[in-house]
Homo-oligomer: A and B are copies of this chain.
């Protein structure tokens, strides 16, 4: 019995639609011609807070009981879940407490605080993060919202592909990046319900290939040191996301660091949008041919667009004098 179903995703849509962006779907004739395919880019980088994570966080917050709302929510995150949960809580008038490691990007810390979050800094270790979150939960009674391995989070993430399918119709392939597995799980559940003929493919950095190896081993592998620029995909699969992904046996494609950067540059250049490396992981196998897209209609979920641009712009400022 899976913890989340297509019915949960439909319920999530009702809860979150009024508060999220229905993100645009971009196409590019040049890319299509070169790939001999029709590729639809679902732009969750243009979602509020800059990633799909806002969907799941918002669904989780909107599903709280009145009693739980009064006590608030807690998460630990250095990245997109922090901002997503902070804004979701703010929208619902709930206090959020976010544990962020000391070495978090100051821009992300400021963004999280701007959404009214109570940010607590900790040492940049797993232990320190868990401990700080546990302390906050004890102090406040707030509910912990996991960034991926949560029923409501998974259901929320599945809403992106629902919009994609509604907007473009038939698809042969649906491609999504794979980290903690929330997005891929939600995508698998929704697509198998709405468009069972479409093949769903998960893309993982070769430098954080725990899902690939977990599916081969038949058990969840969590003891690995990720080494990838795709910071959103460094986390291991969760128990629930592993169970869902295992049940649907999607193809998993591994992507090298250079392929991630090439794909990121292609999207910035050709689509003129800012995507983060994690998004590029789902684009790379199309460009390299690792996924054969010829003659196919392909949906790609661009998961997020939060990149630290300060070095680039400091350089430009210096050049401009």
Contact B48 A29 (CB under 8 A): yes
Q: Is A61 an interface residue (CB 8 A)?
A: no
Interface mask (A270-313 → B, CB under 8 Å = 1, otherwise 0): 01111100000000000000000000000000000110011011
Known: A258-B320, A320-B229, A320-B257. A313 touches B264 (CB 8 A): yes
A19 to chain B, nearest CB (A): 10
For A271, list chain B residues within 8 Å (CB).
46
Bound complex: CA A314 to CA B248 (Å): 39
Bound complex: CA A273 to CA B46 (Å): 8
Known: A50-B272, A268-B274, A274-B274. A261 touches B107 (CB 8 A): no
Bound complex: CA A229 to CA B264 (Å): 24
Interface centre among A50, A272, A312, A320 (most CB of B within 10 A): A272
Q: Is A1 an interface residue (CB 8 A)?
A: no
For A274, list chain B residues within 8 Å (CB).
268, 272-274
Which of B24, B261, B305 makes the CB contact (< 8 A) with A316? Answer: B261
For A273, list chain B residues within 8 Å (CB).
46, 272-274
Interface centre among A45, A46, A306 (most CB of B within 10 A): A46
Contact B257 A30 (CB under 8 A): no
**Interface size in chain A (residues, C-beta < 8 A):** 34
Known: A26-B46, A114-B30, A258-B320. A309 touches B268 (CB 8 A): yes
For A229, list chain B residues within 8 Å (CB).
316, 320
Q: Known contacts A257-B320, A273-B273, A312-B312; can you find 10 more A-B pairs with CB under 8 A?
A: A29-B48, A45-B272, A46-B272, A46-B273, A50-B272, A258-B320, A261-B313, A264-B316, A265-B313, A272-B274
Bound complex: CA A46 to CA B111 (Å): 26
Interface centre among A111, A265, A269 (most CB of B within 10 A): A269
What 3 pairs between A and B have smallest CB-CB spacing? Answer: A272-B305, A24-B24, A265-B313
A275 to chain B, nearest CB (A): 8
Interface mask (A22-63 → B, CB under 8 Å = 1, otherwise 0): 001010011000000000000001101010000000000000
Q: Is A317 an interface residue (CB 8 A)?
A: yes
Bound complex: CA A264 to CA B316 (Å): 11
For A305, list chain B residues within 8 Å (CB).
272
Known: A46-B273, A48-B29. A261 touches B320 (CB 8 A): yes
For A50, list chain B residues within 8 Å (CB).
272
For A320, list chain B residues within 8 Å (CB).
229, 257-258, 261
Bound complex: CA A294 to CA B265 (Å): 37
Bound complex: CA A45 to CA B273 (Å): 9
A/B interface sample: 26 pairs, CB < 8 A: A24-B46, A26-B46, A29-B48, A30-B111, A30-B114, A45-B272, A46-B271, A46-B273, A107-B269, A229-B320, A257-B320, A258-B320, A261-B313, A261-B320, A264-B313, A264-B316, A265-B309, A268-B274, A268-B309, A269-B309, A272-B273, A272-B275, A272-B305, A273-B273, A274-B274, A312-B312
